[in-house]
Amino acid sequence: MSASLPLKDIRVVEMSHMIMGPSCGMVLAQLGAEVIKVEPAKGDKTRDLGGMGAAFFPLFNRGKRSIVLELAEPKDREIFEALLERADVFIENFRDELLQRLKITSENLRKKFPHLIIVGHKGFLSGPYENRPALDEVVQMMSGLAMMTGSRQKPLRVGSSANDIMGGMFGVIGILAALLERNKTGQGKEIRIGLFENCLFLVAQHMVQHELTGAPSVPMPNRIHAWPVYDIFQTSDDEQIFIGVVTEGHWKIFCSTYGLQEFLDDERLQTATDRINARAWTIPIVAEIIARHTLPDLVENLDRLNIPFAKINCPEDLYHDKHVLREGGLVISTNVDGETFRVPALPLEIDGSGICDRSFVPELGADTAAILGELGIKRQCDEVSPDETTVVM
């Protein structure tokens, strides 16, 4: 791990599964923190997922260390608490009832480890729903995000685990704020992130629009466009392209370039409002003209004209995108079986450089012996050196 990474002196103990908690730990690890993932003997359940879940474990657990502990066992509980004693942050995303049974409540932890920043990723924050289980799809349906993406008759979830990942990011934001506060007070904080509240944050623009205007929310596919050209068009080589003509300058140069001088001269199209109101008859004309051009020709011209555009891609198409393939755009990671895979780097640069350290997905319990050695703990009755320790569950 690069010595220049900002969290290189921070130690995190993560006891979480699925996506929201692990994504929080992954971002911290990418920023340089030492993240120790506590797993039961059977491992994180996402280790064995297939289908659309096949990427969950390798993607969100890169760069971590793995220790196997069964917290119902007294000796393993002692090891767990020894880890927390030396940690700066504890991340979990289990239901409060389970944590109470294990006596890993925030009240208990704050008494024993007042320096510790405790981060709970939950379905809901405090309130009537706080004990409900939640999934990304559940909160998208509850919050109206699925309706805005599809329609009320056919709601559609967003095509990624957007809330889980964003919830992990809010966990990181809370942790960074708590670390700054601890520098002043020496005291840790308890942080909770709600998956549902995270989704409320995403739809707040639509909630506030209704609050201010009284108008009902309109699903994105049915919305009234705020721009004269803001559409997907078919090209002559049977591709699709999105084009957004959103400023006065865009309008003039787009029309001039694509032979639409008639639009510029038309008295019915002299203001932005005029052009939006005329979309019913102008867009078919634009579509007919765009359909005469190939995708490469459109990309070259629109890029030169500085008009927003996008080819309609599949996620896997991005492995061939020249911007994604630039230096620092992808990070090489190594899975537990030794196979490498490419992952988009964190979407930020520090002093002009991306965060591109190579990371490894830990095998289950791969770091147990080493971590116990660092703690000065032996797991067997016979006296063996820490580096010879064998895990006995």
Active-site choice (164, 265, 266, 274): 164
Distances (CA, A) of 3 to 8, 327, 330: 7, 20, 20
- Burial (Cβ within 10 Å: 0-12, 13-18, ≥19) of residue 244: middle
- C-alpha–C-alpha distance, residues 140 and 177, integer Å: 27
Task: Point out which residues pair with 354 in neighbouring strands.
Answer: 349
- C-alpha–C-alpha distance, residues 366 and 67, integer Å: 7
- C-alpha–C-alpha distance, residues 167 and 193, integer Å: 7
Told to judge if 48 belongs to the known catalytic residues of this protein, a careful annotator would answer: no
- C-alpha–C-alpha distance, residues 177 and 171, integer Å: 10
Distances (CA, A) of 190 to 11, 132, 272, 278: 16, 20, 50, 54
The angle subtended at Cα 158 by Cα 310 and Cα 17, nearest 5°, is: 125
CB atoms within 10 A of CB 379: 17
Residues noted as catalytic: 164
